[in-house]
Amino acid sequence: MRKSFLSYLFFGVLTTAFGQKNFQQTKAYIDDVKQLTDVMIYDVTSPVATARYYAYSTLASYELMATQTGVPYPSFTALSKLRLTGIPAEVPSLQHPEMAYRYVLLYVGSKLLPSGKKLLPRAEKLKQALPPTEAEFVEAIGEAVLTYASQDGFLQLNNLKRYTPKRGPAYWQPTKPTYMAPIEPHWNTLKTFFLDRPDQFLTQVPATFDLDPASPFYAMTLEVKNVVDENHKEKNEIAAFWDCNPYAISQIGHLEFGLKKISPGGHWMGIAGIACKKARFSLQKTIYTHTLLALTLHDSFVACWDEKYRSDRIRPETVINRYIDKTWTPLLQTPPFPEYVSGHSVVSTSSALILTQIFGDNFRFKDTTENEFGLKPRTFKSFNQAAEEASISRIYGGIHFMDAVTEGQWLGRQVGQFVLQAIDPGSPSSFPTR
């Protein structure tokens, strides 16, 4: 009988506190992932595309690792919808596996990311440390992953029908300052790794647009306006910490400047790296952690975007400016896509489920991910606490209604639980019923 995949999470308990040299390999891999993040920030990569790039890059490391004898982590081809072709039948025993795993991560990243060439100097240095035949095998694994990625629907997105905002007071419209077109309206056409289909878990229908002061929708609108107008210092700090909007623009007179920011997926990949270093994970467990999280992020965004463009709901900023206060501005800049459901609520909740399964319920950590953007670190007693804060930050920032947050959390739980059940089929389903 195949071992439970989750049982591997705790493999090697006696080797967690291993030598400093081995731990340097873990930190080097985490730094490589950060290099991917930096390039995506440079490219102003969309939140959904960021998750896709993380997924394929880390997957290449993982699948290479899974080919090696004695590695306790089986290929995801046995546990997900992933199907790879073109992998050589003869598998060498890697002389420098730590270099090889890092090289294939950067190799795939350099091919996928628009500015991926920025990764080449680092990748080439790793390649030079590998025997030629070993490097060829590593690249063959990378090419197998790239071939699969080329068939996931991403390359066909530009050929799909252009999205036009719907007419009517209840529907999303572009918002200031740049009035950008909506981002990736057809993202739900992409292949998922675990989900059977993008609409596998349907949220409740969003509150009906209604300007009657007694209506739930109007009450939620006032809630958003009031919390921003309150100008509460701690709430403002929370909103800024979890902003994660790569499309933020600063205006000075008639000039506009893009603000380089991390994406929601990038923030959670950063948290994964922080946790792996704190737990002193082996390189293998670190690769597993990052890969499973990245695959979950991808599926979470596909499911979220499927709902966003189905409900196509208006943003609080538009409602308030039209009907209540034309001068009102949210604390955070409204991102360029429909409101329902909250993407950060979806991916933060699913990410917290994955990381809690790996590290435990009460894993305390200091989140320093936003330090480079001038924000103070925040300390959390658990991943779930961080996810709760990320979700409510969307209300504090003035960019979401409350039902988008709560239903986004619900959707994130469904995706995260489905992934965990997929990798451990013997575990009982904990999907709540309505």
What's 171's DSSP letter? B
Q: Which of 248, 233, 363, 351 is nearest to 292 (CA)?
A: 351
Same domain, 384 and 241: yes
The answer on 368 and 228 residing in a single domain is: yes
Statement to judge: residues 322 and 417 lie in one domain: yes
Q: What is the pLDDT of residue 261?
A: 85
**199 with 346, same domain?**
yes
| C-alpha–C-alpha distance, residues 411 and 341, integer Å | 9
Quote the domain boundaries for residue 104.
16-155
Read off the pLDDT of each residue in 342-353 and give the average, rounded to a whole number: 98
Spatial separation of the C-alpha atoms in residues 218 and 212, rounded to whole Å: 6
Say which residue the tokens 């609080």 belong to. Answer: 316
**Distance in angstroms (rounded) separating the CA atoms of residues 165 and 354:** 35
What is the greatest pairwise CA distance in the chain? 71
Say how many domains are in the chain.
2
Does the reported pTM lie above 0.85? yes
- For 81-109, what is the mean pLDDT? 96
Q: How much is the pLDDT for 321?
A: 98
pLDDT tens digits for 167-222? 999 999 999 998 999 999 999 999 999 999 999 999 999 999 999 999 999 999 99
How far is CA 19 from each of CA 25, 222, 238, 283, rounded to the nearest angstrom? Answer: 10, 56, 37, 12
Is 10's pLDDT higher than 50?
no
Helix H, strand E, coil C: the string for 321-350 is HHHCCCCCCCCCCCCCCCCCCCHHHHHHHH
Calpha distance 316→313 (Å, rounded): 10
Position 17 scores a pLDDT of 44
| pLDDT value for 18 | 47
For 117, list phi and psi in degrees, rounded to 5.
-60, -25
User: CA-to-CA distance for 275 and 356, rounded, in angstroms?
Assistant: 11
Average pLDDT score over the chain: 92
Residues 287 and 403 occupy one common structural domain: yes
pLDDT at 269: 98
With cut-offs at 50, 70 and 90, classify the pLDDT of residue 83: very high
Region 81-89: mean pLDDT is: 93
Claim to verify: residue 222 and residue 316 sit in the same structural domain: yes
Q: Which two tokens stand for residue 123?
A: 């990748």
273-313 pLDDT, tens per residue?
A: 999 999 999 999 999 999 999 999 999 999 999 999 999 99
pLDDT of residue 79: 85
Flag whether 96 is in a domain: yes
Residue 13 binned pLDDT confidence (cut-offs 50, 70, 90): very low
Residue 237 lies in a domain: yes
* Whether 254 and 388 share a structural domain: yes
The CATH number of whichever domain residue 241 belongs to comes to: 1.10.606.20
- Whether residues 196 and 151 fall in one domain: no
Percent of the chain exceeding pLDDT 70 equals: 91
What is the average pLDDT across 8-18?
Answer: 44
The closest of 95, 105, 168 to 132, measured between CA atoms, is: 95
